[in-house]
Structure 1
């Protein structure tokens, strides 16, 4: 019987050249102790510097905001200062004359009307709950509504006690004076001193900043500075003059017809109509008319007639003369700047919103380029 061959080939050792030893896949990374210490130190120093900057920003926020107000104030009165300087007066003396004139005007106003303004403002605040009761009573009687005035005043935080506390602070209570006098004095002195410095040293500041630029950019910087300051300053000055004239006219008329709180209402109507574009005129009429309606309904008619006549006089006589050579700002842009400023910085932000946007628009108008609309598009727009 023959021998049969096993079809199964003998075991062949597997090729282990492609197999990787698991121990070889582990890569050991050695960190340089010097590099590690340096990296940790840099991170810690960075965190420390960030904390210091954050702490400094929080502590200096009020001071920096006062510097912003001082700069805007200096720009606002720059046309007056520059006008006196062109007549041969030293710029520091011209700045001092303008500053003394403004402060003297404020002091005279406070001496003549400060007491009346404080007392009427206090009475106005205290009258709000009673005014709400009158309005709700009229609505309930006219439309058979079932509105609870006490619930409204409570939801609006306008209870008599809360308003009495607010009125006490407005009237200048002892605690209010003690708590706020130092901060108010510091802010006032900061704004006055730095606005005087910014105005008197404007040429030196301008040259100093321009010296950090390349020669070809210095001309652009100086021109932008001059045009923006001139246009924005003229715009603010014109608005202040128009607001003062409007406030004086409204105060006088409200005093003649003897409406309640004639002094704060007249000031409110005059300044709101100028510094809140488009809707400011209507707000300045509606608010005094609303308060006057509960005293004598005929006063509402007189207020509307006076405001209409005065607006025409301002548009055709005062504004063209006072606002000549000043820039025009789109009413929508100006209104947006007021609301943005109020959202960022409160009531003061609403006031400075327009000067800031005036500077921005002055720069854009100086170096921006506008093109004529294609004649073929005239019928489509």
Structure 2
């Protein structure tokens, strides 16, 4: 007797949309893979474009002012490029002079350092070290020749790296010049592809980016100039070596290198001061620490309130995210990018009033206190105001 197969119920049928969903998912995954591969392969180009946009946003406010004064946009862009090149060249020359002098002095004093270490080991631990004999054995054993060979190979690699960096700098300069000189034309060409409402949004975001990036550079420059003048005066008073280049180093590095810039800026002058005289290095360290507190609580809030005000937690988090994504370049670009996003959200997100009961409960738990900066100013007024 033949078996009769049960009729196929609707729940056992394959849904007609399942194949399309699988195909769509496979295509989406493939597209994401290709996109990730393209981003990895074009990462350097993406970084160059981002840096070029950042520099163009920073330079455009000054070029716009010159254009309003009757200077052609291309000429104004060239003037700003020459000013930037002169500033970078002056900074590198000043720091290079200091490093060259310090390296030369260290090379001249190296035999004395070796003899002092040899005497200290012998007096303290009764260890006799023939430093000159070790040096002669090092030279006669061929180690010097091997070291010279490795240095030659490293110099070849260094030369290739320098050429690559120069090419990247020239590419960034070319992109930046075009973005600044042809900025209005570029914006018109982009907006011509969009409907009217989208055009207004794009222009609003673009102008926000220019304002925030320009404000970031402007505030950093103001703080860098103040820092340079104060540290120059202090370094000169304590008799520190190279007061002008060291003050330039502190002013620029502390302002334009996020998070760790303060420590890098203070380390070099303190080390050079300690090598000169321990008391000088200690005085420089105290001056740098005191000024940093004054800048954090008094100067920076006043300056950034009119240019680019961003919460310290947001700033720190944005720097971490930027450094994870793009390394050192991302860390530098993170602050103006975060300020632009913050301003965009503040402009387009709707805010609501807080319920009164919540405000009362918050006030009861955390009584309002004067900001630390205001309390410091009041304390200084009491100290320096004549009775």
- Shorter-chain TM-score bucket reads 0.5 to 0.7
Cα deviation for residue 74 of structure 1 reads 0.6
Distance 1:355 1:176, change over 3 A: farther
Q: Check the 8 A contact 1:76/1:233 in 2, yes or no.
A: yes
Mapped partners of 2:352, 2:255: distance in 1 = 31
Q: Check the 8 A contact 1:254/1:262 in 2, yes or no.
A: yes
Root mean square deviation, CA, Å: 4.9
Mapped partners of 2:269, 2:94: distance in 1 = 22
Secondary structure at the counterpart of residue 316 of structure 2: helix
Deviation sequence 1:85-140 (CA, Å, 0-9, x none): 2223232222222112111222344445534345648999xx9xx9xxx9xx9xxx
Distance 1:336 1:60, change over 3 A: same
Match of 2:89 among 95, 107, 115: 107
Mapped partners of 2:86, 2:272: distance in 1 = 32
Deviation sequence 1:240-273 (CA, Å, 0-9, x none): 3423552465366446646578788645533443
Which consecutive unaligned segments of at least 5 residues does structure 2 have? 7-22, 125-143, 367-387
Mapped partners of 2:321, 2:104: distance in 1 = 29
Q: Check the 8 A contact 1:78/1:230 in 2, yes or no.
A: no
Query: How many residues are matched?
Result: 315
Q: Check the 8 A contact 2:249/2:265 in 1, yes or no.
A: yes
Cα deviation for residue 219 of structure 1 reads 2.0
Q: Check the 8 A contact 1:231/1:326 in 2, yes or no.
A: yes
Distance 1:302 1:231, change over 3 A: same
Structure 1 residue 205 corresponds to structure 2 residue 186: yes
Partner of 2:172: 191
Match of 2:4 among 17, 20, 27: 20
Please give the TM-score of this superposition, normalised by the length of structure 1: 0.64
Partner of 2:254: 273
Distance 1:268 1:348, change over 3 A: farther
Secondary structure at the counterpart of residue 100 of structure 1: helix
Mapped partners of 2:208, 2:173: distance in 1 = 24
Partner of 2:340: 359
Mapped partners of 1:286, 1:182: distance in 2 = 30
- Structure showing greater Rg: 1
Report 1:282-293 matches (<5 A): 284-285=265-266, 288-289=269-270, 292-293=273-274
Q: Which has the higher helix share?
A: 2
Cα deviation for residue 217 of structure 1 reads 2.9
Please give the TM-score of this superposition, normalised by the length of structure 2: 0.63
Distance 1:114 1:251, change over 3 A: farther
Mapped partners of 2:76, 2:192: distance in 1 = 26
